[in-house]
Amino acid sequence: MAEWTKHSLLDLKSLSVEEIEMVLETAKSFKEVSARDVKKVPALRGKTVVMLFFEPSTRTRTSFELAAKRLSADTINIAASSSALSKGETILDMAKNIEAMNVDAIIVRHSCSGVPLILADNLSASIINAGDGCREHPTQALLDMFTINEKLGRIKGLNVSIVGDISNSRVARSNIWGLTKLGANVTVCGPSTMIPFGIEKLGVKVSYDIDAVIPESDVLMLLRIQKERQNDKNLPSIREYAKTFGVDNERLKRAKREVLIMHPGPTNRGVELSAEVADGEYSVILNQVTNGVAIRMAVLYLLLGIREPVTV
């Protein structure tokens, strides 16, 4: 197996196929740790991980915190609302101050694309991108790929359709980078106002008709309609989106027998998918959440192991 050399995880755009496969392979071992009675191993004992979330999050933050704790690292949570940012401090100053307390990794989420890159350029701690604007959300895509591989046994050659607001979705971008690198055929589908111009250059097909996409798909990845990122020009109404693109049992009748229904969460039941589909036999939404902890353990383990070689 190749050697891991990355110090930070900023995006899947810059990861090689071997590196992606290495994370997925390492995560398999960590999944077993979370299934034990004592869900803790001493691998990262003495390491400190700070979580800097400038956007609301339950799943990702909890998942990262559990991952760090199950590896015996110490974690600190900083919520933007209660931080010194409200006193006018810049993000970079704040991060540098945190680093000055000798932390090993900073996990960051921010509504602006590129914030993790700025931190990585200026700090020596490992930076993990937990979602930046509409750019990337690498650990989400890694856990999605892990789940697909676990359920279907492969990724290469599968038809994966990502449905929803592609323009605003960092999950879609990370998945496009990752899945195309591993040889999947990716189609993005949604209203034309939500598909960015020129997205074909990333190696994906574009469709505006979900009923044409469903019969072909091995995986249907449904994205949340992000109400906080919409202006009124993208959609006439949420109800219209639900009617034209929402996946319900009626639409799924034309799907493949082993189709996987995935969603990065949080779900809007009755919008991008119906409640019976979210809870139905094809849904792997909760498996994704379980696998998220294993993926984040693998990422922390690999990143925090990198240091200068010791000369003995």
Partner 1 sequence: MIKSPLKVMDKENIRRAISRIAHEILEKNKGTKDLCMIGIRTRGAVLAERIKESIKQIEGVEIPSGILDITLYRDDLTLVATQPVVHETKISFDITDKKIILVDDVLFTGRTIRAALDAIIDFGRPASIQLAVLIDRGHRELPIRADYVGKNIPTSLNQVVEVILKESDNKADMVKIEDRDE
Q: How far apart are CA 47 and CA 104, in angstroms?
A: 6
Best CA proximity match to 207, nearest among 248, 245, 261: 245
Query: Binding string to partner 1 for residues 41 to 60, with x set by CB under 8 A, is what?
Result: xxx--x--------------
Under the binding rule (CB under 8 A), the answer on residue 101 touching partner 1 is no
Omega before 266 within 30 of 0, i.e. cis: yes
Under the binding rule (CB under 8 A), the answer on residue 5 touching partner 1 is yes
Under the binding rule (CB under 8 A), the answer on residue 105 touching partner 1 is no
Burial annotation 270-284 (CB, 10 A radius, 16+ → b, else e): ebbbbeebbeeebbb
Smallest gap, in angstroms, from Cβ of residue 94 to partner 1?
Answer: 27
What is the full DSSP assignment across 143-196? HHHHHHHHHHS--TT-EEEEES--TT-HHHHHHHHHHHHTT-EEEEES-GGGS-
310 class by beta-carbon count within 10 Å (0-12 exposed, 13-18 middle, 19+ buried): exposed
Closest to partner 1 by CB, 22 vs 285, is 22
Count of residues that interact with partner 1, criterion CB under 8 A: 29
In the region spanning residues 188 to 217, those forming contacts with partner 1, defined by CB under 8 A, are none
In the region spanning residues 288 to 307, those forming contacts with partner 1, defined by CB under 8 A, are 301-302, 304-307
Smallest gap, in angstroms, from Cβ of residue 126 to partner 1?
Answer: 12
Under the binding rule (CB under 8 A), the answer on residue 309 touching partner 1 is yes
Query: Binding string to partner 1 for residues 64 to 83, with x set by CB under 8 A, is what?
Result: -------x------------
Positions in the binding site for partner 1 (CB under 8 A): 1, 3-5, 25-26, 28-30, 32-33, 36-38, 40-43, 46, 71, 301-302, 304-310
